[in-house]
Amino acid sequence: MKKLGIVLPTYNRCKFAKEGVENLLPQLLNNRENVCLLITDNASSDDTEKLLRPYSEEYPEIIEYFRQKENIGPHANFYFGIKHLNTDYIYLLGDDDLVSPYFVTTILCLLEKYPDIGMIHFNYLEGQSDLKRVKVHKSKVIDNGLCKLYQIGKNFVNDMLISPSFISSNVFKKECMLKGLETNYHEDCYGYDWLVCLYTGIIEKQCIYYELPLVVQRYGEAYPKFALNTILGQHRIFEYLSEIIPDAMIKWQKDVRLQNSWNVIAIIKTIIPHRRFYKKWYRELSTCLGSQWQRFNLFIAINMPFFFSKPWFAIIDILNKLYLYKKKKF
């Protein structure tokens, strides 16, 4: 059995997915005894099969390409890959993300040093799709050794909260995710059911936060359910964990109150074109927000007509830019 299995779930992103495989290939070849890659194509309608299947034909000992008969949804495709690979640890790599040149070596070294670790969460870079400009997600170093060890997962969850919600920033023990799938799976986490499962499985395991960036995230464009996922979905994570990690919800609610209101309002702004859809979610979304100011803006985004809400948020954007300019200047 190999130590690390990399799952690349993909759908209609053949250009980015091919770039990701090409970027990863030298590391796979250098560590072929310990690492393998599974590409799970969710019935793409572009050139994904044409571009990616040849890798499995040329390197069958380290790369497998599997095409679903029909689109089974992104998370079902994740779980298929996790269950399909016979490895101790799993890494889910987003099909538009890129790992660092030292990613595999670093992870294997950490797994050798901590043989029963439940989860490794690592820092990352983030930028637009062209990656011409990127920034470090977490710029503050919290441990001089660059690797912070948590003896039990409960402490890791309480400290990290939503930080591991970027799926490509985690390596985890396969049995931990499967345990969570069996005992604490909830469809209504709106994009974060996998994180509830993972957190459930690692609560008694050692966990690591590694401070050096090991992957680059491409920002995605806002989609219709972006606010639902980000506001309500993240809240539900800690709702469903509250029975096994009681402090997590308290710490999450405190974190929500301290969140940068400008960032939260930018999320709320994405509701405007889809406000009819969001009317039924108004009360639930409102209870997840950390301030009256945020709730007021949510009310405007959902309940006010376009001729009012669009200029309102345009003014908010201007005020935000002025605030950032003044902060940078002084």
On the question of pLDDT at 55 being above 90, the answer is yes
Shared domain check, 96 and 160 = yes
Contact 246, 195 (CB under 8 A): no
Of 179, 201, 218, which residue is a domain's last?
A: 218
Shared domain check, 83 and 48 = yes
Q: Is the dihedral of CA 85, 90, 92, 93 positive or negative?
A: negative
Shared domain check, 262 and 204 = no
Least confident residue range of 91-100, 122-131, 314-323:
314-323
Q: Which domain holds residue 311?
A: 226-329
Shared domain check, 109 and 55 = yes
Shared domain check, 149 and 97 = yes
Beta-bridged to residue 150, according to DSSP, are 207
CATH of residue 124: 3.90.550.10
119-122 and 170-173 strand pairing: antiparallel
Shared domain check, 8 and 88 = yes
Q: Which residue has the higher pLDDT, 26 or 1?
A: 26
Shared domain check, 311 and 175 = no
Shared domain check, 142 and 35 = yes
Shared domain check, 201 and 290 = no
Of 187, 218, 249, which residue is a domain's last?
A: 218
Of 159, 186, 218, which residue is a domain's last?
A: 218
Q: How confident is the model at residue 144 (pLDDT cuts 50, 70, 90)?
A: low
- pTM, rounded to two decimals: 0.94
Ordered alpha helix ranges (H), 202-233: 226-227
Domain count, the chain: 2
**pLDDT tens figures, 321-330:** 787 666 665 5
Collapse the DSSP code of 269 into the 3-class scheme (helix H, G, I; strand E, B; otherwise coil) and give the result.
Answer: helix
Q: Residue 230 has what pLDDT?
A: 95
Contact 232, 288 (CB under 8 A): yes
Shared domain check, 190 and 94 = yes
User: What is the distance, to the nearest Å, from the Cα of residue 296 to the centroid of all Cα atoms in its chain?
Assistant: 28
